[in-house]
Amino acid sequence: MERSNEPQGLKQLKLCHLYPDLLNLYGDIGNIIALTQRARVLGVSLERQAVSMGTVLDPEAFDIFFIGGGQDAQQTAIQGDLLKNKQGLCQAARQGKVILAVCGGYQLLGEKVGLANGSQMEGLGILDVRTESGSGRLIGDTVYQADFLQPDLDGPAVGPTDRRLLFGFENHGSRTYLQGRARPLAKVLYGYGNNGQDGTEGACWEQVYGTYSHGSFLPKNPAMTDYLIRQAYQTRYGCTLDLPAPDRLEIQYESQARAQAWQRVAAQLEHHKAGGPV
């Protein structure tokens, strides 16, 4: 993934990939690939380090943390190890470092995770969410609207070029509910989201983001990817990352994939575009 022909003097960011050997369901690695590729476009060299069982994290050493999804068995296997790093990860979150967690990883960022066998697992408690096991899996294409990606815009998004739109795919049996200080990452335009009931998707607090969206999440959402990299940069260097000239911000392939994703669900989104209730 890393390119060797990087110019000298690139600003560096460090990415910690947690439990890649255990939490790697449904193409989660695509998020790492997207972060690495977009960082390069933004003029940042992103160095990835895999961290798995038995390691005590040094939160100071990293700028972005990524936790992927896993099956109940893998979640249970890492839970104890993850809790040993609770202090470190909480500290990182408070310092404004970026944490992105998908599906099973998202659940573990919350307070409590109910498992299919009826037992309950303690999470990191970084995000104020709780997860319950539900009957029937929530599977399918998703379209969400995350207003923080383009705060100058109001109203519903009208097409795939709108950067607020997040495209993904969800596949989860559990339902997650937001409480207290947790804010939703986005609102659901198409799909189920956190629980299929309240129209919310994912959760965020400070620079901690949890989502049920994989398939993979970041490749088709370069605005989100760039946002995460810029936030991490801001926290590390205390200044805004200057963007390269617009013509160097190439997102041709990303845009095409987004346009096709939009087309697939466009019919169902018609009433949304007309401003109707979702």
Active site members = 103, 214
- What number of other Cβ atoms are within 10 A of residue 230's Cβ? 17
Q: Specify whether the CB–CB gap between 111 and 129 falls below 8 A.
A: yes
Q: How far is residue 38's CA from residue 51's CA, in Å, rounded to a whole number?
A: 22
Q: Give the contact letters, 58-77, x = binds to another protein (CB under 8 A), - = no.
A: -------------x-x---x
Which CB atom, from 103 or from 126, has the smaller least distance to another protein? Answer: 103
Which CB atom, from 137 or from 183, has the smaller least distance to another protein? Answer: 137
Residue 183: phi, psi to the nearest 5?
Answer: -110, 150
Structure tokens at 55: 């390691």
The answer to the question of residue 179 lying near another protein (CB under 8 A) is no
Taking the complex as a whole, the smallest distance from the CB of residue 27 to another protein amounts, in Å, to 3
Phi-psi region of 125 (alpha: psi -120 to 50; beta: other; left: phi over 0): left
Which CB atom, from 163 or from 220, has the smaller least distance to another protein? Answer: 220
Q: How far is residue 150's CA from residue 264's CA, in Å, rounded to a whole number?
A: 24
Which CB atom, from 139 or from 153, has the smaller least distance to another protein? Answer: 139
The answer to the question of residue 24 lying near another protein (CB under 8 A) is yes
Largest Cα separation within the chain, whole Å, is 54
The answer to the question of residue 27 lying near another protein (CB under 8 A) is yes
Taking the complex as a whole, the smallest distance from the CB of residue 158 to another protein amounts, in Å, to 19
Q: Give the contact letters, 29-48, x = binds to another protein (CB under 8 A), - = no.
A: xx-xxx--x-----------
Concatenate the DSSP letters of all residues of 99-159 into one string. EEEETHHHHHHSSEEE-TTS-EEE---SSSEEEEEEEEEEEEEEEEE-GGGSTT--S---S
The answer to the question of residue 232 lying near another protein (CB under 8 A) is no
Taking the complex as a whole, the smallest distance from the CB of residue 212 to another protein amounts, in Å, to 13
The answer to the question of residue 25 lying near another protein (CB under 8 A) is yes
Binding region for another protein (CB under 8 A): 1, 3, 20-22, 24-30, 32-34, 37, 50, 52-53, 71, 73, 77, 137, 139-141, 169, 171, 214-216, 219-220, 250, 253-254, 256-261
